Structure 1
Amino acid sequence: MSNEKGEYEHQHPDDRTTPSPSHDVIKPGNEKIRTVNPLQEVLKEEPPHPWSWPMIRLYGCLWVSYLCSMTNGFDANTFGGFTAMSTFEDYFNVYGGGELGFMVTMYIIGNLVGGLFAGPITDPFGRRFGMILGSVVCIMGSVMQTSAQNKSTILAGRFFLGMGAVTVQTAGTTYAAELAHPAYRAILTGGYQSCFFIGTMTSTFIEYGLSGLSNPGTIEWRIPSILQCLPSVILLCFVWNIPETPRWLVANGKVDKAREVLIRYHGEGNPNSKLVKLELAEMEATISTHGSDKRWWDFRELFRTRASIHRMTTLLAFALFQNLIWPPTSYYMPLMLKNAGITDSRRQLLLNAVQTPVMIGGALINVLIVEHVSRRFLFMYGSCIMVATLSILTACTALQTTHPKLGTVGVVFIYLFLANFAMTWVPMMTLYASEIVPFETRAKAIALYNLAINAFSLINSYVPPVAFDNIGWKFYLFYIVFDFVGIFVVYFLFIETRKRTLEEIEEIFQSSNPVRTSIQMSKRAAREAREAQQAGDLAA
């Protein structure tokens, strides 16, 4: 199976996110569609070998950045499991409602504060520095949370965990997008967000295992709490052995070092690699050594032009709809199960753990289809299925008091919602966000994107326990309407980026109607691919 996958990727390289020289620049009112893609031509001459030793070394470097995503996964479901533990509730005298919501949101408040500094730290000092600093802060927060004897200490620990997590998230996302091989950028960048589930699965099954102890005491929540720092500890062991990204090196005047990194990880050790020469030439042509990324305080470039405003509006809308589509099950799965009629604590922890394998399955399906289905279709199809599954869940939850069996049906639709969400939206959270922002503003834009995610998460993490206590199943109606509106927002605002280079994406934003232009480019590219295949079949 792995050989078949490698052969397929070898024959269908992903050319989307490396910029290529433009011959037909798209300007407002004068849209032209590119027909020549230098990167694709180079990849035909120098096809990548996905299981070669240089590529395996590249995967190892990217795996270090993936640990940043695991850090967030560990916290999300770790603290969510605490809400089903009587040992935790009794120790801190927290039994749901606003007080539980505040504990959850303290992590997100830390995200918000850290988000103000994540971009400015990552730009001047490098992506690796951001990962190192964030990991140190995460370890400090995890130790504080684990050793907490009172609410104040655990709140402080969650705050520092949040600060560290958003720092590693900003640095790790940027690192993965910039170092990934251009032929497989969709899979390698999408894999970053998918590794979130490794953290969640590890933490939730550990919690389930500890719940089987006859008298676990506080170790039931202290052990999972200290394990939250595990990804950060592993990262600090290996981060010293990975290179800085070539784009950051070029932006800081270290062109020779950038060339060495490209030769080692993209050129398979060949100093005369045409791919390396093309990538380096494009980086030097498009990356300014005096750009706004050198001025940590300068965010003006994000909103300077109509194109940049459209880009940031899309990015912020993306952050909004991925966070408010439904209650965060990572924190409140036990609460949702309770509303569905499942009150046994151990069963809640088991079902809380099962959600991660379900979402991993959805994410793996995304890997198989991401280069065959447009981004816009994935988002709109996913939102339609979410409206349908959430509507059925709402009905089952509303009727389960008089028809207990419907509670089990509702739980099934929780998992169907999660599988669909993981298949259509979750891997795109990193991929699509990194596709639509150029290098010069990438770290700041991703930091602002993470800031927006956490602002919306703050709302969606504090409100659910209060809302469920007061209005029960009726709270789901808000999400149904919100998901429905999201379909139209994607249709009218989001551009298509599949198999587009960074430069082409920038040209799309410069056009008078970016959405229409992106769709036209995709249709033409698909038509030309069919014609080329037909010509090849005739020649054969």
Structure 2
Amino acid sequence: MRDQDIVGEALASVLPQHDRPWFRVPHLLQLNLILLVPLLSSAVAGYDGSLMNGLQSINEWKGYFGNPNGSILGIVNAAQSIGSVISLPLVGILSDKIGRRWTLLSGAIVIVVASIIQAASVQYAMFVFSRVLVGVGSMLVTQPSPMLITELAYPTHRGKYTSAFWTFYYLGAILASWASYGTQKHMSGSDWSWRVPSIIQAGFPVVQIIFWSFVPESPRWLIAKGRKKEAEDLLARFHTAGDTSHPLVQFEMSEIARTIEMESRASETKWSTLVKTPGNRKRTLIAICIGVFAQWNGVAVVSYYLTLVLDTVGIKDSDTQTLINGLLQVFNFIIAGSAALLVDRLGRRTLFLWSAVGMLVSFIIWTACSAVFDITNAGALGKTVIAFVFIFYFHYDIAYTPLLLGYPTEIFPYSIRSKGLTVELMSVYSSLIVLAFVNPIALDKIGWHYYIFYCCFDVVVLIVTWFFFPKQKIAEVFDGPSAAMSSSIFYKHNDFDEKGKSSTEHAEHVA
């Protein structure tokens, strides 16, 4: 795609012209390598999600903790989400007060400590406490990272990076699932079959800690704190090879400065700003919907209770269950990564609608096959259910993985971006807490009949997506092609703001 199709005419006109691909441009290569550090934050969360699936398939873990089921199993799976919700009010404040990078570091350290406690657990309460602590650390690394990436990335790379962020969730899930499979195969009969995967959970945070010193602070945060010279030097270093006089640097500095100037007119950006105007109310509604839909579409059944799903179709062997979990995570990573590359080309709404239709159809077939299997115990139907678990995830991955945090990061202006992400994450983890308790109880009591609820909810997902998600590609959503946005995207008035009214209070642009 042409630069102007990605970032708009105004910003494209000031971009440096390179006669070679970005990975052969030293300062761009350096920047993109550095951005891998915050990008790994989603892998941290992904490891945790898949780890509990793996541990539930390991007989030694189940035996050590008394074969937890129902609400007892729900507690240990909900513990991580409870920790995340507890830390949400704090992490938003930390991101704005001490900066994105220091918040990221604090979260990585917390997860390392939590992993040690988890691996050393000698009783159920200790294990649950470690899971709560993992949730706190996970939120501390996850919340600031997409903002740090968005505010540091080179303009034409920004959309792909924000879309790729949650895709890396499956990188962590792959490591967790195959670690569990390996210990299940080769450490059977030993507590180390579940303690080793718990230790490995510290792996990605340790990598982040090692390379953290190379990660710069957000230039937007620096300017907000009055450190304009640092911000200018930072933008020049990574965007124009050190040329502070380059039009791109001046463009970026001007749009950020204008935003900060607008913000300074108010003593403080309040939480009420999220619902103060029609445009912000719609942004907030979409963020909440994405957070809720990302869990209540049925994915939470598989992401934390794949073992129970496989049990309902007669697949109860631990090796087979951990193998299926491992293959599913590899599949997810490939699909989500491919979808992230198509975001700019296909548009966000197209992917969300495609996802909603695909999840609905696949879940209906999945439910029907489970119902018939319950009557006939036909092995072929059990295999069909497994196939549709993969098909369901394909449609989930094309939208809700690359856009879960990337889309809200793009639609919220800088002044309320941190709070907007916090609201979305609150909806995600609040949903997970409820589902972590409800899913194992419902699957134990009514089996496949529980899937009917998700089929109905997926209808709601499709209807809301069709009527409320903007019709334009994100590059056209808010203020039209004449306003250059800070996140290199443009917005159209009648999608988020009342017709005829200026939306400069929502936008970051050069006049």
With the length of structure 1 as denominator, give the TM-score of the two structures: 0.86
Instruction: Tell me the distance in 1 between the aligned counterparts of 2:10 and 2:469.
Output: 26
Seen in structure 2, the aligned counterparts of structure 1 residues 214 and 129 have a Cα distance that, compared at 3 Å, is closer
Aligned residue for 1:321? 293
Question: Which residue is 1:450 aligned to?
Answer: 425
1:499 to 459, 475, 483: 475
Maintained 8 Å contact 1:362/1:422 = yes
Across the aligned residues of Structure 1 and Structure 2, the Cα RMSD in angstroms comes to 2.2
Shift of 1:309: 1.5
Gaps of 5+ in 2: 477-484, 504-511
Distance 1:261 1:413 in 2: 48
Deviation at 1:43, TM superposition (A): 3.2
For residue 511 of structure 1, what is the amino acid of its counterpart? D
Give the direction of change, closer, same or farther, for the CA distance of 1:14–1:162 in structure 2 (3 Å limit): farther
Q: Does 1:189 pair with 2:175?
A: no
Provide closer, same or farther for how the CA distance between residues 49 and 149 of structure 1 changes in structure 2, counting only shifts above 3 A.
same
Contact 2:287–2:408 (Cα < 8 Å) also in 1: yes
Whole-angstrom distance in 1 between the partners of 2:41 and 2:319: 30
User: Equivalents in 1 of 2:264, 2:148: separation in Å?
Assistant: 19
Task: Determine if the alignment matches structure 1 residue 276 to structure 2 residue 267.
Answer: no
Find the counterpart in structure 1 of residue 454 from structure 2. Answer: 479
Q: Deviations over 1:140-193 (max 9, x none)?
A: 211111111011111110111001101111111211111111112111111111
Mark the CA change 1:13 to 1:191 in structure 2 (over 3 Å): closer, same or farther. Answer: farther
The code of the aligned residue for 2:90 comes to F
Distance 1:167 1:295 in 2: 23
Aligned to 1:330: 303
- Count, aligned residues: 486
Corresponding residue number in structure 2 for 1:139: 112
Q: How does 1:8-19 map to 2 (within 5 A)?
A: 11-12=2-3, 15-16=6-7
2:474/2:490 contact within 8 Å kept? no
User: Superposed, which structure 2 residues align to 1:117-266 within 5 Å?
Assistant: 117-213=90-186, 215-266=188-239
- Map residues 7-156 of structure 1 onto 2, 5 A cutoff: 11-12=2-3, 15-16=6-7, 37-43=9-15, 49-51=21-23, 52-156=25-129
Residue type at the aligned position of 1:362: I
**Helix, strand or coil: the match of 2:336?**
helix
CA displacement at 1:469 relative to structure 2: 0.7
> What are the Cα deviations for residues 116-141 of structure 1, in whole angstroms up to 9, with x where unaligned?
11100110110001101111111121
Aligned partner of 1:433 among 399, 408, 418: 408
Task: Kindly provide the amino acid, as one letter, of the partner of residue 475 in structure 2.
Answer: K
The answer on whether the counterparts of 1:292 and 1:299 sit within 8 Å (CA) in structure 2 is no
Secondary structure of the structure 1 residue equivalent to 2:154? coil
| 2:164–2:337 CA contact under 8 A, matched in 1 | no
Amino acid at match of 2:104: M
Q: With structure 2 as the length reference, what TM-score do the two structures score?
A: 0.90
| Contact 1:46-1:275 within 8 A present in 2 as well | no
User: Residue 429 of structure 1 aligns to a residue in which SS?
Assistant: coil
Residues 60/44 of structure 1: CA separation in 2 closer, same or farther (3 Å cut): closer
Q: Judging changes above 3 Å, is the alpha-carbon distance between structure 1 residues 306 and 480 closer, same or farther for their aligned structure 2 residues? A: same
Query: Which residue identity lines up with residue 245 of structure 1 in the other structure?
Result: S
**Distance apart, 1:510 and its partner CA:** 5.2
* Shift, 1:49, TM fit: 4.5
Letter in 2 for 1:498: I
SS in structure 2 opposite 1:42? coil
- List, as ranges, runs of 4+ consecutive aligned residues in structure 1 with deviation greater than 6 Å: none
- Give 1:478's aligned amino acid: F
Could you tell me how far 1:260 is from its partner in structure 2?
0.7
Does the 8 Å contact 1:327/1:464 carry over to 2?
no
394-403 vs 209-218, greater mean Cα deviation: 209-218
- The answer as to whether partners of 2:278 and 2:498 remain within 8 angstroms in 1 is no
- The answer (yes or no) to whether the contact 1:116–1:451 under 8 Å persists in 2 is no
Residue number among 368, 383, 389 corresponding to 2:341 in the alignment:
368
Give the C-alpha shift of residue 15 in structure 1: 3.4
* Residue number in structure 1 paired with 2:260: 287
Structure 1 unaligned regions, length at least 5: 1-8, 17-35, 518-540
What amino acid maps onto 1:120 in structure 2? I
> Share of identical aligned residues, percent?
26
Cα distance change, pair 143–289 in 1 and its aligned pair in 2 (3 A) = farther
Q: Check whether the contact 1:83–1:334 (CA below 8 A) recurs between aligned residues.
A: yes
